A and B are shown apart, each in its own frame.
Chain A
Amino acid sequence: MTKKPLLSSSQLVLMSVGSAIAFPYTFMPILNAPPANQDTWIVLFVSIIYILLISTPLLILINVFRGFNVNEVLETIAGRILGKAAAVIFSLFFLFCFVACLLMAVIYINLFILPDTPLWALLLYCAIPISYASLKGAGTIGRLAFFIVPFVILTVLFFFLLGVKDIDLGMLRPVLADSTFLEVNIGGFYTGARYSEILIFFVFSYFLQKKARVNKLFLTAIGVFALSFFFILLPILTHLGAELARHAWNPYFIYTRHVEGYDFIERVQAINTLAWFPVILLKLIIYNYMASYMLSNAANAKSHRGCVIPISVFGSLACLIPLLNKSSTVELLRSDQVFPFVVIPVTFVLPLLLLIAYFFRRKKINKIIEKRKHIADPDV
């Protein structure tokens, strides 16, 4: 039997940050969320509160069931059949995220970088590294995150610092005059509801070193994500303006196209692409792995490996469907009409139901947990 890979605290935090930052780096749904004006930066901070609220049920479950893998958690709370059903729901969600993210990635590449390259070639070049890293498992993904995500954060800081001279804070005025309390909260909710990275903690905390504290790691991940997001959002709002930025497919790319400095730094948008591609691959790898892991557990398979390539192939084939391979489809998928309402049932509703079930059955479940701890460590 192969040894369970171990993830360090920083690896898990960076995996979560990398996966979360990939979308703001690619597009800015927050710009179109209400109130869709200069107050968008406030919406970002309000969304953090919603992220914390939405993630709370799952965070409680992760803490209670430290040392259990996802399937064990689900089956311990909901029983064998309902647990398997819940696992299938999670799997389908991960599969949806994988396909949607792959679709956005290839259409983005097609629009901005390689317009003449056929879709199958783009998919092939995405699917091979995704499958390889996903096959290698959690340890490899953690190490990848450790290399990729700091680089991405560095590029965000680089673009921010070089653009500081052009920041016109007047573009953020008036503050909260054109927005209502309700609009800011709706925007905060839509933005917060997109955040599904708590599921990364749910799946990968099983591989986490025992001494690590999940709550602290989660808060760190949220903090790093919020700051990085802010450093992406602020130059966009102050340089492009909220109204013009809303028209763009990728306003951050447009901003980076205008970053210049010291008479020799110009046309540095290549660095944006250089950081974007690995981070979007990392996100895809994580979702591929989580979908494979959940499916294999639901099917009682020994390893997730059997599901990795079929999922990559399925995702690639789905992207080749003419109906899906359209800018308008991606626009709909990433809009506030679809994405938050797909994420919320999985990140909040289902975990809340599981948490309620846990409280009803907590005596019995606690015994199982105690027994499990005793087996793991007889001195306890």
Chain B
Amino acid sequence: MPKRLFMLFCIALVLQLTGCWSRREPKTLALISSALYDLNEEGIYSTTIEIINPEAQGSPQDSGDGKSPTLTVSGEGKSLPEALRKTAESLERNLFAGQTLARFYTERYAKKDIVKDQDYFLRDFLTDEKPLVIILRGDDPQLLYTATLGLSNTVGNYIDNLHRTQDNFISTAVFIDTLMFLKDYHREGKQPVAGVAQLIEDDTQSSGNESKGGEDSGKATMESTGREGSGKEDKKYKVKYEGLAAFKDERLVGYLDAVETRAYKILTNTIGNSVVSLTDGDHVTALHIDKSKASLSACAADKGKKKAKLDVKIKMDISVMQADENLDVTDFENLKALEDRFNKQIRDEVLRAIKKAQTEFKSDIFGFGNAMHADRPGEWKKFRANWDESFSDADINIRIQSSINRSGLIKKTIKNRA
């Protein structure tokens, strides 16, 4: 009898292999690669999501089977979740946001408040805090899903690939995921920042996604949004991912350009590799930042007063990538002069970025307040309530120390003849 019961039990166990109530068959899922969120003046949310079409992935787009690697659908609602659900009205699959790589927010939405809607992303079962937070600049955000995308198939993949390859290579853009964004939002003395994407006209001849967004791309829902009337059919756009969006609490307050963003990355110790070109008339020397370590500190400028003083110390290891014809990199004096020029240029860039945050944004995106909180908690208590105002009026002192340690595989410049 026990043997028979055991056998029955084992057979019953097989029934479990069919899966639980929450099972999702991949073929019934609409995998979201990226999403674009907008909020209009009437307070209506609009969501456009880019869905991966697995059947068309990997196949040439002009193969004639009529299948595009992605599909974009849009929806509107009074709340973000409602707008997202509305996108699924004419979709025969279940939305699956677990693979979302990027969330784009329009400029006008970001100027209102994007933090309150992050609540949904953290609260919902299928959404999470991994996607990148990106502000989309420009008047026609819907063009995003018609843009050419280099070698990638989807906007989400394009941004993700940029993140993996370019973040440490160019250092003129930031890649901030939702968790980092919210962490900075909650951090004392540090304001959040986000990535910036902009759509610019594409003059290049060919790209892997040339037909994407065109008439044959199969993006029926996009065509039905009426954008053909915008008169931009003949123009091609590409995504320019560069710079940084600065926030003050939950609102977008401005942008840093590429050079200022590099300064931001130097100040926050997030810079990877970067090339700095030193120009002197027609002569150009290119230096490579190998290592950078910045120490920020902030303190009261005068005892008892509310004015703060910001102190920046940056130590850098650099190497020569390209020497101009007049530069002999084997000469110590030349290298010292080059280091001084480099220091001055970086100092100017850093100062420009901090000044912009002080005067235009009035927002401490660099974390000087956080440094004061950590180093001088007693002083921080006096500044805490109005730190951004104190930051805006603060004096800045920048010290940069760089050292050229390597000069590449050749000695004197190759242009010099005996």
| Distance, CA A112 to CA B179, complexed state (A) | 18
The bracket for how many chain B residues form the interface is 10 to 19
Residue numbers in A under 8 Å from B179 (CB-CB): 240, 244, 254, 258
With a CB–CB cut-off of 8 A, which chain A residues contact B129? Answer: 254, 257-258
Stretch at the interface among A69-77, A113-121, A272-280: A113-121
Distance between Cα atoms of A170 and B179 in the complex (Å): 17
How many angstroms between the C-alpha atoms of A112 and B128 in the bound complex? 11
**CB of B312, distance to nearest CB on chain A (Å):** 16
Partner of A240, one of B128, B183, B373: B183
CA–CA, A116 and B20, complex, Å: 8
- A243-B182 Cα distance, complex, nearest whole Å: 10
Within the assembled complex, what's the spacing in Å between the Cα atoms of A136 and B321?
A: 72
- Verify B187–A243 contact, CB threshold 8 A: yes
User: Which secondary structure dominates chain B's binding surface?
Assistant: helix
How far is B22's CA from A111's CA once the two chains are assembled, in angstroms? 11
A177 at the interface (CB under 8 A from B): yes
Task: Return the CB mask of A95-137 against B: 1 if under 8 Å, else 0.
Answer: 0000000000000000111111110010000000000000000
B6 on the A face (CB < 8 A):
no
Out of A112, A117, A244, which one reaches B182, CB within 8 Å?
A: A244
Residues of A within 8 Å of B186, CB to CB, are: 241, 243-244
B373: which A residues are within 8 A, CB to CB?
A: 173-174
B377 near A174 with CB under 8 A, answer yes
- Check A112/B122 contact, CB under 8 A, given A117-B20, A240-B183: no
Task: From known contacts A241-B187, A243-B187, A244-B183, infer whether A117 and B22 are also in contact, taking CB-CB under 8 Å.
Answer: yes
Minimum CB–CB distance for A267 against chain B, Å: 9
Residues from chain B with a CB closer than 8 A to the CB of A257 are 128-130
User: Within the assembled complex, what's the spacing in Å between the Cα atoms of A370 and B60?
Assistant: 88
Q: Specify which of A115, A240, A244, A254 is in contact with B125 (CB 8 Å cutoff).
A: A115
Q: In the complex where A121-B21, A257-B128 touch, is A247 in contact with B378 (Cβ < 8 A)?
A: no
- CB within 8 Å for A116 and B377 given contacts A241-B183, A243-B186, A247-B122: no
Residue of B nearest to A244 (CB): B186
Name the one of A170, A177, A240, A244 contacting B378, with C-beta atoms under 8 angstroms. Answer: A177
Tell me if B374 counts as interface (CB < 8 A to partner A): yes
Interface size class of A (residues with CB under 8 A): 20 to 34
B377: A residues at CB distance < 8 A: 174, 177-178
Quick one: CB contact mask for A232-258 with B, threshold 8 Å, 1 for yes? Answer: 000000001101100110000010011
**Closest beta carbon of chain A to B270's beta carbon, Å:** 11
Interface residues of B in 119-149 (CB under 8 A from A): 122, 125, 128-130
Q: How far is the CA of A115 from the CA of B130 in the complex (A)?
A: 20
Cβ of B183 and Cβ of A114 under 8 Å apart? no
Cα distance, A116 to B94, chains bound together (Å) = 14
Given the known A-B contacts A243-B186, A243-B187, are A116 and B22 also in contact in the complex, defined by CB atoms under 8 Å?
yes
Instruction: State the CA gap A243–B21 with chains docked (Å).
Output: 35
For B378, the closest partner residue in chain A by CB is A177
* Chain B residues with CB under 8 A of A116: 20-22
Nearest CB on A from B112, distance (A): 22
Compute how far the CA of A240 lies from the CA of B122 in the bound complex, rounded to whole angstroms: 13
Question: Which B residues touch A173, using CB under 8 A?
Answer: 373-375
Kindly supply a per-residue 1/0 record for chain A positions 68-94, scoring 1 wherever the CB is within 8 Å of any chain B CB and 0 otherwise: 000000000000000000000000000
Between A113, A174, A254, the greatest number of chain B beta carbons within 10 A of the residue's beta carbon is seen for: A174
**Residue numbers in A under 8 Å from B370 (CB-CB):** 170
Contacts of B128 in A (CB 8 A): 257
Q: Point out which of A113, A177, A257 has the most chain B C-beta atoms below 10 A from its C-beta.
A: A177
A118 to B22, CA, bound (A): 10
Q: Mark B180-224, 1 if CB is under 8 A from A, else 0.
A: 001100110000000000000000000000000000000000000
C-beta contact mask, B130-174 vs A, less than 8 Å → 1, else 0? 100000000000000000000000000000000000000000000
A112 to B125, CA, bound (A): 6
Residue of B nearest to A269 (CB): B128
Closest to B187 in A: A241
A60 to chain B, nearest CB (A): 42
Partner of A174, one of B21, B122, B130, B374: B374
What residues on A are CB-neighbors of B22 within 8 Å?
113-117
Q: A121-B21, A177-B378 are in contact. Are A258 and B130 (CB under 8 A)?
A: yes
Contacts of B130 in A (CB 8 A): 257-258
Give the chain A neighbours of B182 by CB distance below 8 A: 244
Q: Give the chain B neighbours of A243 by CB distance below 8 A.
A: 186-187
Tell me the nearest residue of chain A to B372, going by C-beta.
A174
Q: How far is the CB of B109 from chain A (nearest CB, A)?
A: 22
Residues of B within 8 A of A118 (CB): 21
Cα distance A111–B378 in the bound complex, in angstroms: 42
Q: How far is the CB of A122 from chain B (nearest CB, A)?
A: 9
Q: How far is the CA of A302 from the CA of B22 in the complex (A)?
A: 43
Task: Report the separation of the CA atoms of residues A115 and B23 in the bound assembly, to the nearest whole angstrom.
Answer: 10
One digit per residue, 1 when the CB lies within 8 angstroms of any chain B CB and 0 when it does not, for chain A 164-188 equals 0000001001100110000000000
Further contacts, 16 of them, CB under 8 A, given A112-B125, A254-B129: A114-B20, A114-B21, A115-B22, A116-B20, A116-B22, A121-B21, A170-B374, A174-B377, A177-B377, A178-B377, A240-B179, A243-B186, A254-B179, A257-B129, A258-B130, A258-B179
> Can you report 14 A-B residue pairs in the complex whose CB atoms are below 8 A from each other?
A114-B22, A117-B21, A173-B373, A174-B375, A174-B377, A243-B186, A243-B187, A244-B182, A247-B122, A254-B179, A257-B128, A257-B129, A258-B130, A258-B179
Q: Which residues of B contact A (CB under 8 A)?
A: 20-22, 122, 125, 128-130, 179, 182-183, 186-187, 370, 373-375, 377-378
Which 10 A-B pairs rank lowest in CB-CB distance, beginning with the nearest? A177-B377, A173-B374, A243-B186, A117-B21, A174-B377, A116-B21, A116-B22, A114-B22, A244-B186, A241-B183
